[in-house]
Amino acid sequence: MIEGGSNQESHHPSPRQEGARNANLLLALQPKGSCWYCDQPVDNVRRFCSSSCRDDYLEEEAEFGNEQ
């Protein structure tokens, strides 16, 4: 057994930190007339066509956007 080994999943942000990160990420996206996740047309105010697309986008950003 290896003690003291690093575990990539050992640091989990608190819900408050994650909420702030998500809010900043969403605010950084400029409305473009289509959903940022599935490219379905939306009005010029919305960033996503549905909450499920928004959630899927945030999930992918959390999974793949933090690669270093």
Which pLDDT value is given to residue 21?
Answer: 81
Asked if 47 and 29 count as a contact pair (C-beta separation under 8 A), the reply is: yes
Q: Which 3 state secondary structure label does DSSP give 21? A: helix
- pLDDT above 70 for 12: no
Q: Where are the domains of the chain?
A: 33-68
List, in sequence order, the alpha helices (H) in 1-68.
15-28, 51-64
Confidence (pTM)? 0.68
pLDDT in tens, 20-67: 888 988 999 999 999 999 999 999 999 999 999 999 999 999 898 765
Cβ neighbours, 10 Å, residue 34? 16
